[in-house]
Amino acid sequence: MLSSSCTKSLSDLNVNGKSASNVPSVTLFTMGEKALVDNFTTTSVSIAPFRVLSQEWTENTYVYEAQYNFSAYNANAGWWNRLYASTSSTAPGVLTNLQAAKNKFASDILDPAVLRNDMIITDILEVFTFNLLLNTYGNIPYSQALDNTIPFPKYDDAKTVYTDLLTRLDTCIAGLNTSAASLGSADQIYKGNVASWKKFAATLKLKMAMMLADKDAATASKKVLEAVATGVFAANTDNANMTYDASASGNSNPLWQALVYGGRHDFLPTNLLVNTMVAWNDPRVPLYFTKDPNNSYSGGVPGAGNGYGLFSDFSALIQGQTYPGTILDYAQTEFLLAEAVERGIAVGGTAQSHYNNAVTASITFFGGTAASATTYLALPAVNYITAAGTWQQKLGYQKWIANYNMNWDSWTDIRRLGYPNLNVVNPPIAAKGNLPLRLTYPSNESGSNPANWATGVAALPGGADVVSAKLFWMP
């Protein structure tokens, strides 16, 4: 079985499996969960350059990532290493800790029903994490990836892994016992609420199913309908948020840590995002940005050395010390349902009704009012019936705006829906080609695991480890 459980970091990042022997299983779970949200939310281009790639943000002085140059800060290795494993005590790996927690639950948890829920919730987060890796790189170590006895794991076929991840989600959904307890306060997202995790798993299934829609419409439709029947997110109160702690800098919002506590001024909003939102009278403008020195809203040019203090900055809201990190939300759910309707999948409602729900959910989540959302949705440029372009364009632009603090999703939705078409509407200055469709494998993999790395590269279109290679779900 591809989904067999084991414990392993990768290649030269191996961690002694005995090192966590005296750490409670729930602590390991918390470390893995927090590492996932931290890395999903981080501003660091050496880990997650996706805010810059999607042009939610761009760079002030060091413009490498904005120009699609990853050699300076090695983001392709940073994302890989942080999700699989990390030797840093201050930056724990996601999968390493989640798997270590699963290995210890049986010795720490006495109630069989609670034990089962704890194992399943941890497995759901593993599926979420493998999904990030798979849809960033292509073929990845999976079946052998978490086994300490296999120092050089094989690369599994991406489509096969994806199918297995969906099967794991089905098993998780069926196995959760909403009448029993689970992780309690160790779970920083849902505080051990099993019903919430079941909704999370169903919503993740919906999201993953829609990724297949262009290449495997039958499977996508089947899995979407199953997810909706299980029960997906229905309100912002369902959002998978981790609310950060103001009492310690290391437990605070990663944006606050970098932009306020760290005092760095490396980033600013992009001209495309700011100008689009201002032109559409978007009520989120003051919730996303500050005004510039001219008392207007403006953004920087991707790939240019924009300088600090000349343009709008990020709002105090998202730089707040306790501002939450979100890994899955209701707005995404409604956008996916709108897309499902457009693709002829019988999820109920209309594309317009789901679109309206999604936009309203985003506006109210960021602090706007339902009334302001209604006014916004009535504008000809925003109204689903009168807005310009195909359904991909209408949904793509609004998802891009709504994904403001979900950087990997911003990049992925652009890769999947094609909008905004950054290669056309706002190509970065001195860009090294078009928007990357994937990240290349880390150099340590080609050096320490060359045979298996080579099979992963050979499976890419053209057999070359390049950012322009399409992944299995791309048309």
pLDDT in tens, 159-181: 999 999 999 999 999 999 999 99
**Domains contained in the chain, CATH given:** 1-192+434-475 (1.25.40)
Q: Compute the distance between CA of residue 408 and CA of residue 401 in angstroms, rounded to an integer.
A: 13
For residue 462, give the nearest of 161, 138, 154 by alpha carbon: 138
- Residue 325: beta bridge partners? 242
Q: What is the pLDDT of residue 148?
A: 85
Show contacts of 159-163: CB within 8 Å, 24+ apart.
159/472, 160/2, 161/2, 161/130, 161/134, 162/131, 162/134, 162/208, 162/211, 162/212, 162/472, 162/473
435 in Cβ contact with 422 (< 8 Å): yes
Confidence of residue 315 (pLDDT cuts 50, 70, 90): very high
In this predicted model, what pLDDT tens digit does every residue of 460-473 receive, in sequence order?
Answer: 999 999 999 999 99
pLDDT of 6 strictly over 50:
no
In this predicted model, what pLDDT tens digit does every residue of 142-157 receive, in sequence order?
Answer: 999 998 899 999 999 9
Q: What is the pLDDT of residue 3?
A: 38
Listed in sequence order, the residues at least 6 apart from 424 whose beta carbon sits closer than 8 Å to its beta carbon are none
Q: Compute the distance between CA of residue 114 and CA of residue 120 in angstroms, rounded to an integer.
A: 10
In this predicted model, what pLDDT tens digit does every residue of 418-467 receive, in sequence order?
Answer: 999 999 999 999 999 999 999 999 998 999 999 999 999 999 999 999 99
Q: In terms of pTM, does the model score above 0.85?
A: yes
Backbone torsions φ then ψ of 69, nearest 5 degrees: -110, 110
Compute the average pLDDT of residues 9-18.
Answer: 37
Q: What is the pLDDT of residue 358?
A: 98
Confidence of residue 25 (pLDDT cuts 50, 70, 90): very high
In this predicted model, what pLDDT tens digit does every residue of 199-251 receive, in sequence order?
Answer: 999 999 999 999 999 999 999 999 999 999 999 999 999 999 998 998 777 89
Taken in order 456, 461, 462, 465, the sign of the CA dihedral is negative
Backbone torsions φ then ψ of 359, nearest 5 degrees: -65, -40
- Residue 57: beta bridge partners? 269
Which amino acid is present at 9? S
Q: Which pair of tokens denotes residue 98?
A: 């989640």
Q: Which pair of tokens denotes residue 316?
A: 């105090």
Compute the average pLDDT of residues 182-198.
Answer: 97
Determine the longest span between alpha carbons in the chain, in angstroms. Answer: 63
Q: Which pair of tokens denotes residue 459?
A: 């499976």
Distances (CA, A) of 188 to 132, 177, 244, 295: 20, 19, 9, 39
